[in-house]
Amino acid sequence: MANTMQFDLVSPERRLASLQVSSVQIPGADGDMTAMADHSPTITTLRPGILKVEGPEGTQEYVVSGGFAQINADSLSVLAERAVPRGEMTREHMDEMVAEVRKAHEAAKAEEHPNAVDEAAKLLADMVAMGDHIGLPVDSRVPAP
């Protein structure tokens, strides 16, 4: 089958998925992209978002909190910092992730490192957007940049 590719989703603690898929939508750091078979080899970092996998058994979605993806012509590996199937995503997970980012943001602000503050703020905004998208809206007190 020429139009499928091997897809692996791994987090440091376990392997979440390994199957043949037709396409995967990746929340890349510079914008979403969809990878299909024969994509040019690419390595991209991820922002917090939804990973949408079109497999033989329909669409599966995973919530990822960052990491990176390695795309080859016939395979795609996503190495996520933390990845949870969307169905298993709970309020606690969300809150935990947001709290982590928020803490990083505060820390960056305390150090007055402009780049780091911007990055952390963007991460936080991404996280909030993702929360809205999956129906777990975050108490969005996004601190003013």
Partner 1 sequence: MPSLKDLKLRIDSVKSTRKITKAMQMVAAAKLRRAQEAAENARPYAERFNSVMAGLAASVGDSDTAPRLLRGTGSDDVHLLVVMTAERGLCGGFNANIAKLARNKADELIGKGKTVKILTVGKKGRDALKRDYGQYFVGHVDLSEVKRVGYADAQGIAKDVMARFDGGEFDVATIFYSKFQNVVTQIPTAQQIIPATYEDAGEDEGSSVALYDYEPSEEAILADLLPKGVATAIFSALLENGASEQGARMSAMDNATRNAGEMIEKLTIQYNRSRQAVITNELIEIISGAEAL
Residues that bind partner 1 in the complex, under the rule CB under 8 A:
8, 10-15, 28-30, 40-45, 68, 70, 72, 77, 79, 81-82
The least CB distance from residue 77 to partner 1, in Å, is 5
- Rounded Cα distance between 82 and 62, Å, is 10
Q: Return the number of the residue (10 or 36) whose C-beta is nearest partner 1.
A: 10
The least CB distance from residue 144 to partner 1, in Å, is 25
Give the N- to C-terminal CA distance of the chain in Å, as an integer.
49
Q: Return the number of the residue (43 or 59) whose C-beta is nearest partner 1.
A: 43
Q: Return the number of the residue (35 or 128) whose C-beta is nearest partner 1.
A: 35
The least CB distance from residue 6 to partner 1, in Å, is 12
Q: Within 13 Å and on the Cβ side, how many CA atoms surround 115?
A: 0
Tokens representing 127 are 């996280």
Closest CA to 79 of 96, 92, 62, 57: 62
